[in-house]
Chains A and B, each alone.
Chain A
Amino acid sequence: MTHSLTWLLRPVTILGKYSLLIARAFVSPDDFRTYRKNTISEMIRIGVESLPIVALAAAFSGAVTTVQVSYQLVSVFLPATVIGSVVAPSIILELAPVVTGFILAGRVGARIAAELGTMRVTEQIDALETMGLNSISYLIAPRILAGVVMFPMLYVAACAVGIGGGIVVANLGGYLTTQEFVQGAQNFFRPFDPYFGLSKAFVFGFIITSVSCYMGYFTAGGAEGVGKSTTQAAVMSCVFILIADLVLAVALL
C-alpha cells in the first residue's frame, strides 16, 4: 500500500526535488562573481558553439517548409505571396524555437547531464562541497543562466537563417521571387509573433538546461548511471519542450 502510494506520488516528488534544486542554485550565499567565468564559458559552449548546427537545421527546415507550402497551396485563387505569408510565421512561431530546442536538447542537454553525472559518480561534486563551495550554485546556475540567455540568441539566428533558407529555395526552385516572399511575409506579419517565439526560446532554454542539470546532478550508479542520465536528459528535455510548446501556444496565442 505504502509502496504503490509512493509510486503514484513519484512524479510529484520528482517535481518537488527538481524545484528545490533549481531554487537552491539561485538562492546562493556566494557572490555571483564566483560563477562569472563559468557562466561565460557555458554561454560559449551552449550558445556560440551551437550556432552552426542550429543554423543548418533552421535553414533546412525553412527551405523544406517553403517547398512544402508551395506544393500544398497550388491554387489559382491564391497569389504566390501567400507562401511567404505562411512560411515566415511558421518559422517565427514554431519551427525556429522547436527545432532549435530539439537540437539543443541533444547537443547541450546530453553534454550537461554527462558532465554533471560524471562529476557525481567520480565524487567531484563531493570534493566541491568539501572545498566549501555551494556545488549546486556553482555547477547549475551558470548553465541555466547561459541557456536562458543564449537560447533566445539562437532563436533569432534560427529565424533569420530559416527565412533566408526559405527565400533561397523559393528562388532556386522557381516557386516565387524574393520580392513576393517578402511581401507575403510582411502582409500578414504580426509584431507579437517574434516576441512569442522569443518567450518560447526563453522557456525552452530554461527547460533544457534545468532538466539536464537535474538528471546529471542526481546521477547514481557509475558509468551506466551516467549513460542513463544522459539519455534521460535528452529525452525528457524534448518531452518537456513539447509540453511547454503546447501550453505556451494555448496560453498566449
Chain B
Amino acid sequence: MSGPSFATALELGAGAVLVCAVLTMWRRSLAAIVRLLALQGVALAAVALVLGLHARDGVLVGVGAVVVVEKGVALPAVLLRVVARDTSSRETAPLVNVPASLVATGALTLLAFAVAGPVVALVPTVAGRLVPLGLATALIGIFAMAVRRRAVSQIVGLLLLDNGIALVAFLATGGFPLVVELGASLDVLLLVVVARVLGTRLHERFGVLDLDELRELHD
C-alpha cells in the first residue's frame, strides 16, 4: 500500500475504534452497545490488516483475520444472547448520566494524549502518532467499568479496554507474539463465560436476575 492512502486508512481505522468507544457511552440500549463493539472489532482488525499489508507481515495479517472472527463476530454474538435472555437488563444502569459521561470521555482522551507523549516521541511514524487513540479507548473502558453496574456493561468495559490495548500494541510494536495476543483475548472470553455460568446458576438457585443484585460483601 502506498504512502498517503496507507496513512489515511490507518487514521480511519484507529479513529473508528475511538469513535465506537465514545458512542458506547452515549447509547443506553445494551443491544446497540454490543453492535457498536462488533463494529469496533472490525475497525481494529482493519488496522491490523492495513499494518500487516504495509509491512508485508504475514503474521499480523493472520492476527487481523483472527480479530475479525473473534471480536467482530463471535464475542458480540455471545453477548447479544446474554442480553436477549435477561429482559430486565436491556438497558445500562449508569451511575453517571450520559452528558457527564461524554464530558468524561473527552477529558480521558485529552489525558491519553498527555500521557502518551513519550511513546509518540519514540515512534515518529503515522502509526506512532495514533497510539493515543488506543490509550483513550482503554481509559474509556476502565471508566465504563467503574460507572456502569450491569454484568454485561462490565464486560463491555473490559472489551473496550482490551481493544484499546490491542490497538496500542498493533500501532506501537507491530503486534505482539500471537500467543500473548490470544491470551489477552482469552481473558475477555473468560469473563463472558463466567458471567453466563454464574448468571445461570444465580437464576436457578436464588432467583437473582443479575450479578449486580449481589451486594452482600463489604466492610
Q: Please say whether chains A and B are actual partners in one complex.
A: no
Contact surface of B with A, Cβ cutoff 8 Å: none
